[in-house]
A and B are shown apart, each in its own frame.
Chain A
Amino acid sequence: MARTIAIANQKGGVAKTTSVVSLGAAMTEVGQRVLLVDLDPQASLTYSLGLDPDSLDVTIHDVLVGRTPIGKTIHQGVEADIVPSNIDLAGAEAYLLTRTGREYALRMALEDVQMHYGVILIDCPPSLGVLTINALTAADEVIIPLQCEALSHRGVGQLLETIEDVRRLTNRTLSVGGIIPTMYDPRTSHSREILADVGRRYGMRVFEPPVRKSIRFAEAPRAGKSILRYAASHPGATAYREIARSIIG
């Protein structure tokens, strides 16, 4: 059975998608069978792995509205398999809001493919809506990427409250794996202070090493690759390899 990990933070631009792609590629490197699930209507994960979201016949949207089994939406990739998304997923959110049992749509869909994978990574949208609730209900654990900048921890408290609601109402075994510090700039004391503060404030595991800010992370998706293939020896790639090893244990 696959271990299902949701990568969530309702703040946008904190490197959720980058973390999913990079961790997925790093886990594949060490022999894990990895499935990535794009649960964001912006489809950045889909795009990052070289797919054109607008030309896809079936996506996670079709799965969540019950039209297509998840197996038929999977695209096999070099770095990981992916269940893609596109803007139609915004409609699935509206559709699910009227359904009883809406929290379980993704969990039930993933049951069909769990035996084929070692790890399933879910890229959550930057909001605390019904799609994020679906991801948290389907997941065994949640990992929170956090930008090492002022105000970045605002919202983490709300996310933890939501995780508590999910534990109470739909998934009592959900655990918090920890925080991935992203966009870290070691030259500034500010980044170091934020990092120290976050670990203290929330009493959570902070994965090491922090992932440094780099233009390579912006360039990699344009090539349809993860940082691990685009710049294999870059410090960012090395950081994600180490974090992936810590997560796998």
Chain B
Amino acid sequence: MSKPPTDTEWDNAYIDEQLAEHLRQTREPDPMGKLALFSGAAQRPGPFGTLAIECSSCKRESPIRFREIPRLVMPISLTLPRRYHTFMKCPGCGRRTWVRARWRM
């Protein structure tokens, strides 16, 4: 028969449990974990931030890489002085629509 835990062992187990709960709550979501299923959420910001596109149709903000820009603006793109200033393909929902760009740190 195993010995019952001492008071110290109980205390240590309680502290471990509290610590584990604290770590669970404060842990940064891993972009390579389940968030990798979402195209926007999986991208880590670069050292100088990330270019993000906000779409007037889906209202989502999608971070993009510079190499994706040609694919999104082809075959036609237009920029006008308005809130959603550029007509191009939204990287989030895939619609050709008006978007605006912003630098996300």
Contact = CB atoms under 8 A, between A and B. Distances in A.
Interface of A: 97, 99-105, 107-108, 128-130, 133, 162, 165, 169-170
Nearest to A158: B34
A99 B36 CA distance: 11
Interface size class of B (residues with CB under 8 A): 10 to 19
Interface stretch (B11-19, B20-28, B87-95): B87-95
B34 A101 contact: no
A107 B94 CA distance: 11
Nearest to B95: A108
Nearest to B59: A172
Main SS class of interface, A: helix
A100 B68 contact: yes
B59 to A, nearest CB: 9
11 contacts: A100-B39, A100-B64, A100-B91, A101-B39, A101-B90, A103-B37, A103-B38, A108-B95, A130-B37, A133-B38, A165-B41
B38 A104 contact: no
A12 B60 CA distance: 32
Contacts of A107: 93
Nearest to A99: B39
A137 to B, nearest CB: 9
Contacts of B38: 103, 133, 165, 169-170
B58 interface: yes
A104 B68 contact: no
A173 to B, nearest CB: 11
A107 B34 CA distance: 20
Name the residue among A130, A133, A169 with the largest chain B CB count within 10 angstroms.
Answer: A169
Contacts of B91: 100-101
Contacts of B92: 100-101, 104
Contacts of A165: 34-35, 38, 41
Contacts of A128: 34, 37
Contact of A100 (B36, B62, B95): B62
Given A101-B93, A128-B34, A169-B60, 10 more contacts: A97-B37, A100-B39, A100-B62, A101-B62, A101-B91, A101-B94, A102-B39, A104-B92, A104-B94, A133-B37
